[in-house]
Amino acid sequence: MARRESILTGPGSQALIVDLIRSSGPISRTELTAATGLTQPSISNIVRRLIDDGIVRETGRTPSQGGKPRTLLEINARARYGIGVQLGFESITIVATDVRGGVVGRQLVDGAGAGQPDETAERIVELYRAFLSGLGLDAASVAGVAVVTPGPIALAEGAILAAPSLPLWDGYPLRDVLADALGVPVIIGNDAAAATIGEFWSRQVSRNEAFACVYLGTGIGAGVVLDGALLRGASSNAGELGHVTIQIDGEPCYCGNQGCLERYAAPGPTIAAARAARDDLDDVNLTFDPASLSRDFDQLARAAVGGQTVAAELLQRSADQIAAATVTLANLFDLERIVLAGPGMAVAGSVYARAIRERLERSFFARNAHSIAVELSSNPRDAAAIGAAALVLQGSIAPGHGPSLIPAA
């Protein structure tokens, strides 16, 4: 794209310094000056601010080699924590990440299910307090909480809209309820978008790269990062990969469209197909209980990876369908890198990665111009919660810099 924001000036410089100290281990101010092209006074000012904030600390000196020894700087990883909460029908996951991006704690409890939003919000508040106390984290060190859910979000209102798996939550002002109870900044976001941002950061993807994350949860979503910014579209509803038509005039979808990818390839329809073929799957332990959809999907994936023929066929069908829609995504955005994340990729990721790679190799429109990498998240199940936690943390270190769930004003 045509426009580039200079990474060396403006609000990005603080984030750049943090990134450099984080990635280059102990480093001196002089080396930072050389690495960034910023002036010595600028480096000194930024470093002083970071030290005052506790994010960076001095850690000894370079061995003297004749010249004046230099003070080294390192990240104070435990200066601040981001908390990410992944709110789903079946489970709620909370994670904490430190300034280095490392996960310092993770806890999983029962999901929202069919419970009232108020009760679930209260459970989140309790979970948060127990989680901090269990980890021995000071509440004052928490930069903020990001709660991510499937489905659309009303960003300005901090509310969840009508996610098909969480219908009771439509319009519920979760952000304000939690912020009041917790006394820390709270943001609400989409799970696929949060996972996309988390994967973009943790992989240190270049800002010039056309990057996407395909997210397999209860539904199917995607996030796209162009020029270092998460693509939002008109109403932060961009990336609806689950509602790409793969079969014209096919099965009707709850969204109003027909032949949507999600209607065929998501865990729900895949387990429904397994139920229809359950006589051939009697060695696979499936409950067919809607409240255990993810567990059933994991079981099916385990059987498939283990060589159970019918399970493998069912999973392959889903993978081929997601692969076809991913080619569409790649052709419309001319992508260079795709990461697969989400709970659905935890066991079955290799099957999906292979199907997507194979189809891109023979079908990607620009394949003669450039290659396209397909990678698996290193933690597909918690990718959205980790992305959410990294997001609030990054927002507190360098507001306004890098991809964010919240559009700039």
Q: Find the binder of a copy of itself among 258, 292, 316, 350 (CB under 8 A).
A: 258
Window 125-164: contact mask with a copy of itself (x via CB under 8 A)? ---------------------------x--------x---
d(CA 26, CA 57): 10
Query: CA nearest 344: which of 373, 306, 304, 307?
Result: 304
Report residue 108 as tokens. Answer: 């999983």
Instruction: Establish if 321 lies at the interface with a copy of itself (CB under 8 A).
Output: yes
Mention every residue, 6+ apart, whose C-beta is less than 8 A from residue 156: none
Q: Find the binder of a copy of itself among 246, 310, 311, 338 (CB under 8 A).
A: 246
Looking at the DSSP bridge assignments, the partners of residue 81 are 98, 142
Which residue lies nearer to a copy of itself by CB, 290 or 400?
400
Which residue lies nearer to a copy of itself by CB, 112 or 323?
323
Q: Which residue has the tokens 């697969």?
A: 340
DSSP label of 79: G
Binding segment for a copy of itself among 80-88, 185-193, 254-262, 388-396 (CB under 8 A)?
254-262
Site for a copy of itself in 1-20 (CB under 8 A): 1-5
Binding segment for a copy of itself among 79-87, 136-144, 238-246, 267-275 (CB under 8 A)?
238-246
Q: Find the binder of a copy of itself among 21, 55, 177, 241 (CB under 8 A).
A: 241
Among left, alpha and beta (phi > 0; psi -120 to 50; other), residue 25 is left
d(CA 162, CA 180): 23
d(CA 262, CA 271): 13
Q: Find the binder of a copy of itself among 71, 184, 363, 375 (CB under 8 A).
A: 363
Q: Find the binder of a copy of itself among 157, 227, 280, 358 (CB under 8 A).
A: 227
d(CA 315, CA 305): 9
Which residue lies nearer to a copy of itself by CB, 5 or 74?
5
Angle at 402 between CA 396 and CA 403, to 5 degrees: 100
Which residue lies nearer to a copy of itself by CB, 142 or 330?
330
* Pairing of the two strands 142-149 and 186-190: parallel
Per CB under 8 A, residues contacting a copy of itself are: 1-5, 152, 161, 209-210, 222, 224, 226-227, 229-241, 243-249, 255-259, 320-321, 324-325, 327-329, 331-336, 362-367, 369-370, 400, 403-404, 407-408
